[in-house]
Structure 1
Amino acid sequence: MNTFLIILTGSLVAASCGFLGCFLILRRMAMLGDAISHAILPGIVLAFLFSGSREILPMLIGAAIIGLITVFIVQMLNQSGVKSDAAIGVTFTALFSVGVVLVSLYTQQVDLDLDCVLYGEIAYVPWDTWQLGGVDMGPRALWGVGGVFLFSLVVIGLFFKQFKLCSFDPALAAAIGIPVMLFHYLLMTLVSLTTVAAFESVGAILVVAMLVVPSATAYLLTDRLHAMLFISMGAGVLSAVMGYFLASWLDSSIAGAMTAVAGFLFLLAFLFSPRHGLISKMVARKKVQLGGA
C-alpha cells in the first residue's frame, strides 16, 4: 500500500507539473517556472508564521501571492530594459535568499527546514496523513497535489482556447480582445500552487525538472498542443513509476531517481524523435546525400 501511495503521489506531481510546463515551454518561459519554485519560499515561511501550522491551504495562499509578486517584478524589470534572463535571475535569487533567512531565523524549533524545502522526501508521504473529524483521510501530499492538479485541469479546460492563443500568438490574442496579461498571471498562479503542493514530496529543486523535462520531451515528439499535453503527462507518470523502482533497486533517493528517468526519456526523444531527433536528422541527411549521388 505504501508503494502505491508513493507512486501515485509522484505520478500526480509529475503529471501536474508536466501539464503546466507545456505552456511554459511554448511561451519560452521555462526558467520562470524555476524562478517561481524558488521565490515562493518566503511565502511559505510567512504563511507558516501567520497560521502557525503546515496545513496546505495557508501554504498555497502564501505561495500564490509571492508567485504573482515574482512575475510582476520580472515583468516590471523587463519593461524597464533589463534582459529577461537577468530579470529572472535577480528576482528569484533575491526572494529565495529572503526565504532562507526567514527559515533560519524563525523556524529553528519546528519541523520546517531547508532540507525539507529543497529536497523533499516522497518516501514519508504515506505517514504524513490528513485528519478530518478524527478520520484518517490519507496522505496530505496526495490530497494537496491531487486537488491542485484537478483545479489546473478545470481552469485550463475552461479557457483552453485563450491559453492556446496567448501561448502561440499573444499579439493576435490581444488584437481580438483577449486579456493576455490576465491569462499570463493566471498561468503563473497555477504554477505557484502546483509548486508549493509538490514541495513536501519532491522539493523545490526537483519540481523544476518536472516542470520542464516531461514537457520538453513532449515538445520534441509532437507539433500539436493536445498531443503535447497528453505526452507530457504520460512521460511524467512513466518517470514516476520507473523512478520508484529504480530507486528501490539502487537504494537511492526516490525523487532523484524519478528525475533521472525523466532526463533519460528526454534523451531518447532528443535522439530518436521522428522529426526533431538527432539520429532521425542524420538519417534524413544521409538519404538526401545518397539520393543526390
Structure 2
Amino acid sequence: MDAFYIILTATLFAISCGLLGCFLILRKMAMVGDAISHAVLPGIVIAFLLTGTRDSFEMILGAALIGIFSTFLIEFFHHKARLQTDAAIGVTFTWLFALGVILISVFAGQVDLDQECVLYGEIAYVPIDLWIGDNGTIFGPRALYVAAMTLIVNVAFIRIGFKQLHLTTFDPAFAATIGVSVSLWNYLLMGAVSMTTVAAFDSVGAILVVALLVGPAAIAYLLTDRFQTMMIITVFVAIVSSALGYYLAVWVDGSIAGAIVTIIGILFGITFLFSPGHGVLMKKRLQRKEAQRLKTEAPLS
C-alpha cells in the first residue's frame, strides 16, 4: 500500500506539472518553473519566522505568496522595463533566492530550518505523513490529498480557459485584437504554475519539480504537432515515469524523486533520437533514403 500511495502521489503531481508545462514550452517560458522553485525560499523562511512553526500549511502559504509575487515581478520587468523574458526570469529568481539564503544564514543559529528538505523534498515520507481527523480517524496521506486537489484545480483551470490559453499561446496578437487580455491569461497561467510548484515541492522538492514541468511536455512536443495529442502524451509519460521511477529507486535504494526524473531523462533521450518527426537518427535515416531515391531517379548522362 505504501508503494501505491507514493506512485499515485507522484503521478498526480507529474500530470499537474506536465499539463501546465505544455503551455510553458510552447510559450518558450519553460524555465519559469525553475525561477519560481528558487524564488519561494524566502517565503518559506519568512513564514517560519512569523509563525514559529514548520507546519507544512504555513510554509506552503508563504511560499505560494512569494511564488505568485515572483510571477508578477517577471511580467513587470518584461513589459515595463522591456527586458527579455529570460533576463527578467534570471533577475527575479536569483534576487529572491539570494534573499532566502541570507535569511537562513542570519537566523541559522536561532531556528531549526533545513533548506535541503525544501529544495529536494522526499516523496518516500508520503505514507507516514497522514491526515488525522479530530476524532482520530485516519484519512490517508496528506500529500495525496494535496496532489489530487492540485490536479483538479489545474484541470478545471485548463478546461474553463482552454480557448483563451490556446489563443494567447499560439497567436497572442490575434487574441489581443478580438479582446482577449493576453497579460491577464499570462498572469493566471503563471499563478497556476506557482501554486503547483509550491504544492509539489514538499514531496518532490523545489528543484526536481522543474523536471516535472518541462520533461513530460518536452517529450510530447517531440512526438506530435497537435496540441491536444501533446497533452495526452504528457499524461501518459507522467504515469509511466512515476511508476518506473519508483521501482528504479527501490532497485538502487536511492531517491524516488531523483529516480523519476532520471526515467524522464532517459525517455527524453530515446525520444530525441528516435522520434518519427524530430528524432536525430530518424531524420538522418530519412535523408539517406531521400538521397538514394534521388540518385535512383537521376537521369543517365
State which of 160, 163, 166 in structure 1 corresponds to 2:165.
163
Using the TM superposition, name which of 132-141 and 250-259 deviates more: 132-141
Using the TM superposition, name which of 207-216 and 271-280 deviates more: 271-280
Q: 2:196 matched to 1:220?
A: no
- How far 1:140 moved relative to its partner? 1.6
Gap runs ≥5 in structure 1: none
Aligned residues: 293
Q: Distance in 2 between matches of 1:57 and 1:186?
A: 22
Residues 71 and 190, structure 2, Cα contact 8 Å, conserved in 1: yes
Residues 107 and 113, structure 1, Cα contact 8 Å, conserved in 2: no
Query: Match for residue 276 of structure 1?
Result: 278
Q: Distance in 1 between matches of 2:178 and 2:31?
A: 29
Q: Distance in 2 between matches of 1:182 and 1:165?
A: 13
Residues 165 and 173, structure 1, Cα contact 8 Å, conserved in 2: yes
State which of 139, 142, 145 in structure 1 corresponds to 2:141.
139
Q: Distance in 2 between matches of 1:101 and 1:261?
A: 35
Residues 271 and 278, structure 1, Cα contact 8 Å, conserved in 2: yes
Q: Distance in 2 between matches of 1:51 and 1:184?
A: 32
Query: Match for residue 128 of structure 1?
Result: 129
Pairs within 5 Å for 1:15-30? 15-30=15-30
Query: Match for residue 36 of structure 1?
Result: 36
Query: Match for residue 102 of structure 2?
Result: 101
Gap runs ≥5 in structure 2: 296-301
Query: Match for residue 188 of structure 2?
Result: 186
- How far 1:142 moved relative to its partner? 1.2
Residues 67 and 188, structure 1, Cα contact 8 Å, conserved in 2: no
- How far 1:81 moved relative to its partner? 3.5
Q: Distance in 2 between matches of 1:215 and 1:227?
A: 11
Identity of aligned residues (%): 54
Query: Match for residue 119 of structure 2?
Result: 118
Give deviations 1:24-59, integer Å, cap 9, x for gaps. Answer: 001000011110111122223333444454555544
Tell me the TM-score normalized by structure 1. 0.94
Q: 2:86 matched to 1:85?
A: yes
Residues 59 and 196, structure 1, Cα contact 8 Å, conserved in 2: no
Q: Which has the larger radius of gyration?
A: 2
Residue aligned with 1:205, SS: coil
Residue aligned with 2:192, SS: helix
Give deviations 1:94-150, integer Å, cap 9, x for gaps. Answer: 101212333444576766411111111111111111222232221121111211111
Residue aligned with 2:180, SS: coil
Residues 60 and 197, structure 1, Cα contact 8 Å, conserved in 2: yes
Residues 71 and 191, structure 2, Cα contact 8 Å, conserved in 1: no
Using the TM superposition, name which of 261-270 and 139-148 deviates more: 139-148
State which of 228, 231, 240 in structure 2 corresponds to 1:229.
231
Q: Distance in 2 between matches of 1:119 and 1:147?
A: 22
**CA shift in 2, pair 1:195/1:247, >3 Å:** same
Residue aligned with 1:204, SS: coil
Q: Distance in 2 between matches of 1:288 and 1:106?
A: 66
- How far 1:72 moved relative to its partner? 2.1
Letter in 2 for 1:90: V
Query: Match for residue 241 of structure 1?
Result: 243
Residues 206 and 259, structure 1, Cα contact 8 Å, conserved in 2: yes
- How far 1:83 moved relative to its partner? 3.0
- How far 1:86 moved relative to its partner? 2.2
Letter in 2 for 1:85: D
Give deviations 1:3-35, integer Å, cap 9, x for gaps. Answer: 111111111121111111101001000011110
Q: What's the Cα RMSD here? A: 1.8
Query: Match for residue 203 of structure 1?
Result: 205
**CA shift in 2, pair 1:202/1:61, >3 Å:** same
Residue aligned with 2:140, SS: strand
Tell me the TM-score normalized by structure 2. 0.91
Q: Distance in 2 between matches of 1:162 and 1:114?
A: 38
Letter in 2 for 1:26: L
